[in-house]
Amino acid sequence: MKKILQAFLLLFLPVILLAGGKAATEKVVIAFKLDNLNINIDGKLTEPVWQQQPISEFIQRDPNEGNPASERTEVWIAYDDANIYVAARMYDSKPESIDASLARRDDFVDSDWFHFFVDPYNDKKSGYYFGVNAGGTLSDGILFNDSWDDNAWDGIWRAQTNVDENGWSLEMQIPFSQLRFNESDKMTWGINFKRNLKRNKESSYFVMVPKKESGFVSRFALLEGLNGIKPKQRFEVTPYVVQKAQYLVHDANDPFYKSNQYNTAIGADLKIGIGSNLNLDVTINPDFGQVEVDPAVINLSAFESYFNEKRPFFIEGFDLFYFGIGGINNNWGFNFGWPELFYSRRIGRSPQGPISDAEYADYPTETRILGAAKLTGKLDESTSVAALSAITERTYATLFNNGTKTNEEVEPLTHYGVLRGRKEFNDGNQALGFMFTTVNRDLNNDVLKERLADNALTLGLDGWTFLDEEKEYVLAAAFFGSYSHGTKEYIQRLQKNSLRYFQRPDATYATFDPERTSLSGYYGRIMLNKQQGNFYINSAIGLASPGLDNNDLGFQFAADRINAHTVIGYRWFEPEGILRSKSVYAAYARTFDFEGNPTSNFLWYRLNATFTNYYSIYIGGNYQFESINKTLTRGGPLVIQPKEFNVWLEASSDSREKIIVETNGTYAKDDLGGTYIDGYAGIEWRPNSQINFSVGPAYSNNDEFRQWVGNFTDAMAINTYNTRYVFARIKQHTLSANIRLNWTFSPTLSFQLFMQPFFAVGDYEGFKELAAPRTTDFNVYGESGSSINYDSNSDEYTVDPDGSGTAEPFSFSNPDFNYKSLRGTAVLRWEVLPGSIFYFVWSHNQTNFDDPGNFSFGRDFKNLWKTEGDDILIVKFSYWLDI
């Protein structure tokens, strides 16, 4: 309780007197009704409606905040029963300097752009954006949480541009069916426009929000005149067909290879409008073969690696499923992030079950999704809903032994469900939401019953409240509970995993219970944020109980944790001397477990500066005080985490240049002498308006004196609870590069290439065991009578801990590694018609493990290059039907 009270003080101590805010005067835009007039979408503005009085008077946000735009922009809005139309004329005194670069959709290259922002619900929080650059490249996405955006959403709409001696112009046609809104005879929407003028690094808005103020959607102008719209019911079907050819490294006698080499799949996505404000998305046998491969990683920690979602069905509308993030415009984690109750990559993931020994095995790499449905939208301006239901099939691996094939279940039939809702009150000053998730498995296999929960549930509440009329200070909170049920063996696994380590021999609060058949826990966090102004403050307190588990459908970062932090900062938005803007932040954060052990205690800082030539630099670091590490021994006793510090630097050049450079580096050192160094240098080259090439090599060197090797039971190890906790010094080198080529032939035809060579080498030496809990003391093997011997034939180490014959010798495999991979994806994308897309995809992966523990780039590159690899070719065509 004392630790919780200390954390509350850290949260509320920084609260200062509430400052006065800034109110904006709403502008009004009138939309023109088209009566029996067809708009020819050619970008030339020849129709009579575009001769009406335009919208103008754009204001700069950059480079000279508050000044009129340097070039005139005129905008018109029109509509008919099916579409809303936007036309814009961007006058330019130097038309020869207009940048009309081509890029693939949603690739925001630095060029001349025009953006249309719209809030159809007029809820002051959410909406859409539609962007077109002078070359005709399209960009679109969603707006949420007032000032955040996400480009994952792809609407089906049209736009054309035209460059002439006066500048450039455009026309957009956006079907009402692509937008969600509350239909009525007279509607009022929120609206805004933005123009980017590349050569001046200028961004100007119809409604400009000053940098020191907060919000974006809440400041929009009002769009009126949308009267008598009767859009048709939305019903879209997008069937697809996929042909796959796999050329994999395989044994010539593999009986499964030929049957899996060529596969054909068909499926479909359906989108049904329920009224004008809700969408029902359904997918049948979804295919995700055209997405980019995940990057290679080497993870030597006890925790899971996180990968972003890239599958279109799950991405669209995902903002409505966010839990615990809302109301505040900035979240800071500091070892305690916001909860992710819905991590969609759990659905369709690799099977979890093991298989018996076999000569050959056909083990699926993913679990097929039989079907999934998603409902998203708003019941009214202040009430949002989102629901998802998905079923994955019972999955089997096929084994081949002595000419006989047998099947073993590796993943059960599983249902995943999510229900999310949120209600805002008092014009968005307060909000209250809930979220419920469920995973239900049909387990009829004893092996899987030991590894998976039969039912796992979470239920949470979240919300926010602004503390003043000007919405300068806001308090946000999230709370949820979890419940997992399964066999005794499964709950034993859950208690022992890296998030909990209930089996820890020195645990006093949450201890291992082998008879349990369920596990439950809770999470809570409260955050205070100052939304605007030069002076900045953010503070939070949170706790996650030892029994918390939301990993069946979410992504869990921690359990058994009480955390608090405070960030203060100051931002200068006005140019001064050689600097265009600058900021400084400092923070203090502290974490305890439920036993009261201080597991983290550090100071942090960051300095940012942007120069008048638009080069930027970022400098930061932290100092970690001595604390307690409860995961280093992988379920063993607590140990001391020594003091350490790190510093880092990032720098980038002007994004308008043909060659853009970005670089960063880190140096860290602890009191035991361990060091970590990394560096990155990214170069982006734009030789012409169609080609963009980038390469980003990265290198890291980790010299760690306490890398875990293994735990070995020994009754003679009385100082460490009858177990020897073995560690070593590791010298790890990691070298990689992300290589990308984007070649855009037209706004609807593009080629994208991604390649990642990756090298990770670890050399273990100086093997030793923990001498005593809550220390940094070790007994080094080969000293004080102990011995260690390496057998190159078996590639094993054998240790005699005391040399007297009293302690039993034990062995472990050589942990050295040399992992090399080359991964890549090439995608040719052709949007044949709006919403109808042809893909040709090549995916490649090859790996090599020669020379473990020995890093030599030249030799390792040759070894990787000569290794055979896997190649997969995919042809996919999807056709959009608007029924």
* 116, two tokens: 């249309």
Residue 210 has pLDDT above 50, yes or no: yes
Which of 227-231, 679-683, 854-858, 870-874 is the least confident region? 227-231
* Residue 290: band (very low, low, confident or very high) from pLDDT cuts 50, 70, 90: very low
Counted residue by residue, the chain has a size of: 883
If one compares 663 and 150, the residue with the highest pLDDT of the two is 663
* pLDDT, position 305: 52
Describe the chain by its helix, strand, coil percentages, rounded to 5.
10, 50, 40
* Residue 287: band (very low, low, confident or very high) from pLDDT cuts 50, 70, 90: low
Mean pLDDT of the chain: 91
Q: Enumerate residues 6+ apart whose C-beta is below 8 A from 783.
A: none
* pLDDT, position 805: 73
The tens digit of pLDDT for each residue in 547-575 reads 999 999 998 988 999 999 999 999 999 99
* pLDDT, position 308: 67
What kind and span of H or E run contains 484?
Answer: strand 473-485
Residue 293 has pLDDT above 50, yes or no: no
d(CA 311, CA 292): 10
* pLDDT, position 144: 93
The tens digit of pLDDT for each residue in 452-482 reads 999 999 999 999 999 998 899 999 999 999 9
Helix (H, G, I), strand (E, B) or coil at 704: strand
* Residue 815: band (very low, low, confident or very high) from pLDDT cuts 50, 70, 90: very high
The tens digit of pLDDT for each residue in 216-226 reads 999 999 999 99
- Asked if 617 and 650 touch (Cβ cutoff 8 Å), the reply is yes
Calculate what percentage of the chain has a pLDDT beyond 70.
Answer: 95
Mean pLDDT of 629-658: 96
For 317-382, strand residue ranges (E) read 360-362, 369-380
d(CA 675, CA 762): 15
Residue 56 has pLDDT above 80, yes or no: yes
Closest CA to 698 of 621, 759, 764: 759
* Residue 35: band (very low, low, confident or very high) from pLDDT cuts 50, 70, 90: confident
Residue 10 has pLDDT above 50, yes or no: no
Residue 17 has pLDDT above 70, yes or no: no
Closest CA to 594 of 699, 660, 507, 674: 507
Mean pLDDT of 691-710: 96
Mean pLDDT of 856-875: 93
* Residue 306: band (very low, low, confident or very high) from pLDDT cuts 50, 70, 90: low
The tens digit of pLDDT for each residue in 319-356 reads 899 999 889 998 898 988 788 999 988 998 889 999 99
Q: What is the pTM of this model?
A: 0.89
* pLDDT, position 804: 74
Q: Enumerate residues 6+ apart whose C-beta is below 8 A from 17.
A: none
* Residue 366: band (very low, low, confident or very high) from pLDDT cuts 50, 70, 90: confident
- What is the 3 state secondary structure string of 147-195? CEEECCCCCCCEEEEEEECCEEEEEEEEEHHHCCCCCCCEEEEEEEEEE
Q: Number of C-alpha atoms within 13 angstroms, CB side, residue 409?
A: 16
What kind and span of H or E run contains 693?
Answer: strand 691-713
* pLDDT, position 291: 45
Closest CA to 773 of 811, 823, 732, 722: 722
If one compares 551 and 37, the residue with the highest pLDDT of the two is 551
* pLDDT, position 676: 97
- Asked if 553 and 439 touch (Cβ cutoff 8 Å), the reply is yes
Residue 869 has pLDDT above 60, yes or no: yes
* Residue 22: band (very low, low, confident or very high) from pLDDT cuts 50, 70, 90: very low
Residue 413, beta-bridge partner list: 442
Report residue 690 CA to chain centroid gap.
28
Residue 302 has pLDDT above 70, yes or no: no
Residue 538, beta-bridge partner list: 529, 567
d(CA 795, CA 51): 82
Mean pLDDT of 874-881: 91
Calculate what percentage of the chain has a pLDDT beyond 90.
Answer: 78
